[in-house]
Amino acid sequence: VGFGSVGRRFSELLGGAYGRRLRSAGWRVSVTAIATGRHGMAIDPRGLPLARCRRLVEAGGSLTSLHQGPPVSHTLELVRRAPADVVLEISPLEPRSGQPAIRHVRAALERGLSVITANKGPVAFARARLLALARRRGVGFLHEGAVMDGIPVFNLVERCLPGARVTGFRGVLNATTTRILACLEAGVGAEQALREVQAAGIAEADPGFDLDGWDAAVKACALAAALLGARVRPDAIPRRGIRGLDPERVVAARRRGRRIRLVAEARRRERGRAELRVGPRELPLDDVLASAPSDGVLVLETDLVGDVAIWQGRGGVDQTAYALFSDLMALLAGDGRRFPRG
């Protein structure tokens, strides 16, 4: 569900070295349905020709010519009808509501299909409900790509820190603001900085969600849901972005050997509650949150292991496509007993 740059890159991985790694682990994966918003949709139980799908979409065409069987007109209908074991949800997100991704995930889980998503919305707004539904149906709901692309964040805690208690976290989770702040440090003006980051394909055409700290807030809520077991709504947390930040302040901090970053912080409170906030913070240059070049850093505060950080160099489409792949590998390795080996 969704065949933008991440979905297309994932489909390339299946045809290359990563697909060979799946096959050498005994799995054969085929894509039997694709839904897009502006390029039609197609179901083919024998597996869609992925290179042709990519060429069609990249040329502005439609997938509908590849469709087999009774016509399908709506993404939810495709999710309900596609012959599949796993649904990848990577549709464009309305970040204030988490829709339509949440509807797609729910429809798939209700059918007893496992879901892998790189969308932060379903995690931030509905993780507990969706996970409960997945458990009732005996299927998986994995979402490593929702925060920091393919860098393990959720899986790190679940698979590598068993029994440890996360008591809070501090993260630089939004690459757009980090890159803009780095430009400002170098003396580039605010508008020029934004244009440079947009040209690099990092910032959205409408960067408001990044600049106002909304993206960081949604990611913080996704992390709080998974790591602290807390349901917090993004619009309920104190949030400041970098839009009003004086570029002079950024330059002055750098001159003092310090650096400003947009930091999301969370602290576990009693009875399943958590305290979150998002805002610009001035950090020592050798703080791991300030290290560079980096598109994401998350410091986990734990009860016994102390502070543990996971750090991402450059992020992008490759990393998010890998997140889908790694969740798929985990699904097949863990819950995979249900799936026939090819």
Q: Report, as residue numbers or ranges, the catalytic residues.
A: 219
String of contacts with a second copy for each residue 303-342, x by CB under 8 A? xxxxxxxxxxxxx--xx-xx--xx--xx--x---------
With contacts defined by CB under 8 A, name the span among 18-26, 83-91, 222-230, 263-271 that binds a second copy.
18-26
CA 166 to CA 303: how far, in whole Å?
A: 7
Nearer to a second copy, 205 or 304 (CB): 304
Least separation, in Å, of the C-beta of 287 and a second copy?
A: 6
User: Which amino acid belongs to residue 48?
Assistant: L
| 156, 188, 190, 251: which one binds a second copy (CB under 8 A) | 156
| 11, 91, 177, 294: which one binds a second copy (CB under 8 A) | 294
CA 38 to CA 81: how far, in whole Å?
A: 20
The sheet carrying 141-142 orders its strands as 86-89, 114-117, 141-142
Nearer to a second copy, 41 or 175 (CB): 175
Q: Specify burial of residue 296 (Cβ count, 10 A radius: 0-12, 13-18, 19+).
A: buried
With contacts defined by CB under 8 A, name the span among 64-72, 131-139, 201-209, 284-292 that binds a second copy.
284-292
Beta-carbon count within 10 A of 191 CB: 8
The count of chain residues that interact with a second copy, using the rule CB under 8 A, is 50
| 211, 290, 324, 336: which one binds a second copy (CB under 8 A) | 290
Selection from 121, 163, 156, 117 nearest residue 140 by Cα: 117
Nearer to a second copy, 12 or 110 (CB): 12
Q: Does 259 bind a second copy (CB under 8 A)?
A: yes
Tokens found for residue 135: 């458990």
Least separation, in Å, of the C-beta of 76 and a second copy?
A: 31
Contact 262, 182 (CB under 8 A): no
Least separation, in Å, of the C-beta of 315 and a second copy?
A: 8
Residues 70-99 that bind a second copy (CB under 8 A): none
CA 32 to CA 49: how far, in whole Å?
A: 9
Nearer to a second copy, 51 or 333 (CB): 333
| 135, 159, 233, 341: which one binds a second copy (CB under 8 A) | 159
> At what angle are helices 17-24 and 317-334 packed, to 10 degrees?
10
Tokens found for residue 106: 């729910």
Nearer to a second copy, 19 or 234 (CB): 19
Residues 125-154 that bind a second copy (CB under 8 A): 149-152
Least separation, in Å, of the C-beta of 94 and a second copy?
A: 28
Cα-based angle 153, 159, 161 (whole degrees, multiple of 5):
80
Beta-carbon count within 10 A of 16 CB: 9
Selection from 237, 239, 124, 250 nearest residue 179 by Cα: 250
Helix (H) or strand (E) holding 141: strand 141-142
Least separation, in Å, of the C-beta of 309 and a second copy?
A: 4
Hey, CA dihedral for 218, 109, 71, 35, is it positive or negative?
Answer: positive
Contact residues toward a second copy (CB under 8 A) are 13, 17-18, 21-22, 149-152, 155-156, 159-164, 257, 259, 285-288, 290-292, 294, 299, 303-315, 318-319, 321-322, 325-326, 329-330, 333
